[in-house]
Structure 1
Amino acid sequence: MTDWCAQESRTRGEGPLGTASRARRWLLLEQPGSWGRDALRASDLPAAVAEQLEAWSREVPVRVLLLRRPGGDRPLGAERLLYAGVSAPQGSWLEAIELGHVREVLDLDVSPLRDGRSIGGIRVVDPLYLVCTNGKHDPCCAKFGLPVAQSLLDVVGDRVWECSHVGGDRFAGNLVCLPDGLFYGHLDADTARVAVAANEGGRIDLDHFRGRSCHAFPVQAAEALARQRMGLQGTGALRVVDVQRAGDRHRVRFARPGGRRLVVEVVTRRDAPPAPLTCGGLPGAAPSYELVHLAED
């Protein structure tokens, strides 16, 4: 019998803030069919394509994910969609490229992504939603992710994708909103709809917010805690100006609309007892974050 790490995380009341996987650049390739624990290597991708994607992930660097339609609605054929984009504090974007065959990946030049520039795709106007369902990486991703992906089909149609591992197994179901790189965790079919409705309306669902992928974990936590304390839901309500660190304390200055500034200080705590971080791994002690100062500057 599986001890579901995501269920145990919920039971002990673990909050997901400050846990969004770090990523500023994205490369997302449609690859129908099954994926293994290492999705690039354990799928039907040609070996040369998998090797190229792995090389780009290190060299650009770029976060590479595989995508498939919820429920496997699209049959495995030659054509593929590929998305590239950037999640940044300002000016996030996403673009799409239609490939006649998956091997056309080998003809791409993705080096412009290093500087946040287009690789020649068509700009995507509406947000995409990625739900991690890679059950071979962690059973919780499939158990809690698949119902989330299926539920969002009725809400955003072909803008929702199942994706390979995004990190944070114990927070499944996990949702990534692109291009802004907003992560949500501990979602079910109903709360996922709430998170997506908020994102579509330019707001953040604070109850399940993990953080922005473009920021370091303590900065993500500072934003989430400040938003919770002040009830700030607007996606653009806070923008990081600068960050100062002194040991386990981070002082983050945010800009607010109208020119106001907000100073937020958080302390990283490392005194949590060991607990399951994945279904198959050994227990570990995850950091937590405490808000110790908040004031307008």
Structure 2
Amino acid sequence: MSDFRCSFASVDDGEPIAGTAPSDPEVLLVESPGPWGRDAVADNRLPEVVRTHLAGLDLKVFLLRRYDGSAGPGTHVFHARATDEGYDVGAAVLDRPEDLLDLDLRTLPAYADPLWLVCTNGKRDRCCAELGRPIAGLLTQEWPDGTWETTHLGGHRFSGTLLALPSGLTLGRLDPSNVLAACEAVAQGEVPVEVTRGRAGRPGVEQARELHVLAGGDPRDELVAVPGPVRRQSCGDDKVKATTRYEVRTP
């Protein structure tokens, strides 16, 4: 097994994390205990009819499981739509996973409690499992109902990484020494800028602009996307890709 770790390489390169949060305006989160494959939505233990249904949806789907492997009763489902402030979240507990097929996502009761979605799919990238699972364990002790392991959030080179709902803040380069303080700040309505990748549901440049201003930058500054170094970005494959960074253009 290769010793390469994409998260270590990203730190060594000094790669900025600002503007790297998921930009999906709508996401569906479905409880699916047990192992996940590299393509988790297709390779899991949900009934085949449910897997087919999820694959055909025109929105981003993440799978969820508990850190300790427990499940139920029922199947937890969360639906989130991006707003100017973060996400509006609805939630339900289904009797059977098959009930997803007839579920009207627009009618789910509102859910306002914190959700901490920690990327841990080691079949997709080793860094997510190696760095994400200890983080999920710590958060489970503090927020047992709100903490879930989740499938690929994107940006595994920023592991440990998590998506916080309803704020939409996506945190990166987390470890057991900083994750509790970072999440407590988010729960209090603050933005821990040093470990924030951006507010999900927005384009990357808007994410970076918000963080620039929160860090004391001039709101009039323009941020533009520029190519970063071309290098391997994942432990999961040997593909070489270009990174993206955001530079400030002062007025």
**How far has the Cα of 1:91 moved from its partner?**
6.9
- 8 A contact 1:89–1:214 mirrored in 2: no
State the partner residue of 2:155: 168
Residue deviations 1:9-48, cap 9 Å, x none?
1122212111111112121111100000011111111121
Q: Within the alignment, does 1:128 sit opposite 2:115 as a pair?
A: yes
SS at match of 2:191: coil
Contact 2:86 2:200 survives alignment (8 Å): no
Secondary structure class of the residue paired with 2:207: helix
**Map 1:101-116 → 2, pairs under 5 A:** 101-110=96-105
Q: Distance in 2 between matches of 1:266 and 1:293?
A: 9
Aligned to 1:219: 206
Partner of 1:147: 134
Which is further off, 277-286 or 24-33? 277-286
Q: Does 1:67 align with 2:67?
A: no
1:276 and 2:232 are equivalent in the alignment: yes
Q: Secondary structure at the match of 1:106?
A: helix
2:10 matched residue in structure 1: 9
Equivalent position amino acid for 2:219 in 1:
L
Residue 78 (structure 1) shift = 6.9
Mapping for residues 1-297 of structure 1, pairs under 5 Å: 1-56=2-57, 58=58, 62-72=59-69, 74-75=70-71, 79-90=74-85, 92-110=87-105, 119-230=106-217, 262-270=219-227, 272-279=228-235, 280-293=237-250
User: Which stretches of structure 1, 4 residues or longer, exceed 2 Å deviation after superposition?
Assistant: 119-122, 261-264
Kindly, what percent of the aligned residue pairs are identical?
35
Q: How far off its partner does 1:225 sit?
A: 1.6
Specify the SS of the correspondent of 2:154.
coil
- The 2-side partners of 1:47 and 1:95 are apart by 25
Alignment root-mean-square deviation, CA: 1.8
**Please, what TM-score do these two structures have when normalized by structure 2?**
0.93
**Offset, 1:199:** 0.7
Matched residue pairs, number? 249
CA distance in 1, matches of 2:73, 2:145: 19
Matching residue's letter, 2:39 = D
What displacement does 1:134 show? 0.6
Structure 1 unmatched runs, 5+:
111-118, 231-260
**Deviation for aligned residue 1:142:** 0.4
SS at structure 1 position matched to 2:178:
helix
- Rounded Cα–Cα distance in structure 2 between residues aligned with 1:2 and 1:68: 28
Which residue number corresponds to residue 252 of structure 1? none
Per-residue CA deviation, residues 105-154 of structure 1 (Å, 9 max, x unaligned), is 112133xxxxxxxx332221212110000110111110111111111112
CA distance in 2, matches of 1:12, 1:264: 25
* Post-superposition offset of 1:65: 0.6
* Cα pair distance change 1:90/1:138, threshold 3 Å: same
Relative to structure 2, which stretch is displaced further, 158-167 or 284-293? 284-293
Partner AA of 2:149 in structure 1: E
The change in CA–CA distance for 1:91 and 1:180 in structure 2 (over 3 A counts) is: closer
